[in-house]
Amino acid sequence: MTIEASKSEQRAAKIRLGMVGGGQGAFIGAVHRMAARLDDHYDLVAGALSSTPEKSLASGRDLGLDPTRCYGSFDEMAQIEAARPDGIEAVSIVTPNHMHYPAAKAFLERGIHVICDKPLTSNLEDAKKLKEVAEKAKALFILTHNYTGYPMVRHARELVQNGELGEIRLVQMEYPQDWLAEPVEQTGAKQAVWRTDPAQSGVGGSTGDIGTHAYNLGSFISGLELQELAADVHTFVEGRRLDDNAHVMLRFQGGAKGLLWCSQVATGNENGLKVRIYGTKAGIEWTQADPNYLWFTKLGEPKQLITRGGAGAGSAAARVTRIPGGHPEGYLEAFATIYSEAAQAIHAARSGATVDPDVVYPTVDDGVKGVAFVTACIQSSQQNGAWVRV
């Protein structure tokens, strides 16, 4: 089943969407808006787009929102929208990390579905509280670990699930960047300022910002549960208050071993997310810079290059592929796939139907695991790299 705009049975009325964060000058909010539009399932109708009422209104005007639905705070938006007969059914939360918990809680408790960016929260206590709220709520919680939306990532996961790799031995993940190689937060650069502030970002710097993505992706493909880890978390840039590099050894339930490297000071790397998984029968390699391709090597055989839309790609990749092979799909399409998966679940919730079992999206549980991973990395490193249970 391909996620595509033309599927008549999916053409239920569009989901009325609100957004918290993503105002003028913000980064990921605009990506969420594009992702929500791609498969035509949502209408953005309201927002608390910025931290001040004035900027929220100005940002809403830029997007053509009804000024009466541009709110000064997410609390006001949750209250008023929940009471409107045509109020929002779902909200995207794209603020700095420390606001995820209070904002998500405000909407979930009013029965409004939440699509929230990662990491789930800025600390483990909030993550566990949010899990409780989400479990009690009459609404869904979707976490945008967007890399799980790539067709070749879905194919890699299907290969593991079909036993093509045999028993998994090794899971290698890395996410190097270089944009924080210098103290850019001291220049006032918005995205760097909050990411290096423990009060807004949380206990982790690079570990929370990109380590959680790499960890989630390795777990998503391999299906393995992390048991314990030993980490060397470090801050290279003088004066910075959170980590900008981490090397982490991982032990998974069942005996597989892993290694995760995340860095924001690795010169020459932009968003170098890469996952390699090796089992008793075969190995796979996928890199975000070349997302339409997956290397698959059976033991004793030449390497195979599986292409998105090509002959070797299976049904899991096909259902999230939009255009023929050879025409590249990328970051925005993968992000849109998370929105489309969420839309299918929200449509099902609306009508009381059962969700298609092929629908997959990261959940609040994945979010708690991510924050637990960050917390354990910091604890381990503070004990000179001791093994810590997750």
Ligand X SMILES: NC(=O)c1ccc[n+]([C@@H]2O[C@H](COP(=O)([O-])OP(=O)(O)OC[C@H]3O[C@@H](n4cnc5c(N)ncnc54)[C@H](O)[C@@H]3O)[C@@H](O)[C@H]2O)c1
Residue 134 CB, nearest approach to ligand X (Å): 17
Angle among Cα 292, 169, 255 to the nearest 5 degrees reads 135
| Min dist. Cβ of residue 29 to ligand X (A) | 6
Residue, CB closest to ligand X: 21
Q: Give whichever of 60 and 151 is closer to ligand X, judged by the CB atom.
A: 60
Which CB, 151 or 362, lies closer to ligand X?
Answer: 362
Helix boundaries (H) for 64-150: 74-83, 100-108, 124-136
Between 21 and 151, name the residue whose CB sits nearer to ligand X. 21
The least CB distance from residue 256 to ligand X, in Å, is: 26
Q: How far is the CB of 270 from ligand X (least distance, A)?
A: 13
Distance of alpha carbon 141 from alpha carbon 361, whole angstroms = 10
Nearer to ligand X, 87 or 204 (CB): 204
Residues whose CB is less than 8 angstroms from the CB of residue 105 and which lie 6 or more positions away in sequence, other chains included: 129, 130, 133
Sequence-distant (≥ 6) Cβ neighbours of residue 187 within 8 angstroms:
none
Which of 111, 357, 365 has its CA nearest to residue 220? 365
Q: Which is nearer to ligand X, 74 or 373 (CB)?
A: 74
Kindly state the smallest distance separating residue 299's Cβ from ligand X, in Å.
34
Residues in the chain, overall count = 390
Is 52 or 162 the residue whose CB approaches ligand X more closely? 52
Vertex 197, ends 193 and 202: CA angle to 5°?
130
Query: What minimum distance in Å lies between the beta carbon of 51 and ligand X?
Result: 4
User: Least distance from C-beta 103 to ligand X, angstroms?
Assistant: 7
User: Judged by CB, which is closer to ligand X: 20, or 231?
Assistant: 20
Of 151, 106, 377, 360, residue with least CA distance to 246? 377
Nearest approach in angstroms of CB 209 to ligand X is 6
Encode 224-240: b = buried (16+ Cβ within 10 Å), e = exposed. bebebbbbebebebeeb
* CB-CB contact of 175 with 211 (8 Å): yes
Please give the Cα distance from 226 to 222 (Å, whole number). Answer: 11
Question: What is the number of other CB atoms lying within 10 angstroms of the CB of residue 91?
Answer: 30
Nearer to ligand X, 103 or 140 (CB): 103
Residues that bind ligand X (CB under 6 A): 20-23, 26-29, 48, 50-51, 74, 94-97, 99, 117-118, 144, 146, 190-191, 194, 209
Q: Which residues contact 208 (CB under 8 A, 6 or more apart)?
A: 97, 119, 122, 201, 202, 242, 371, 374
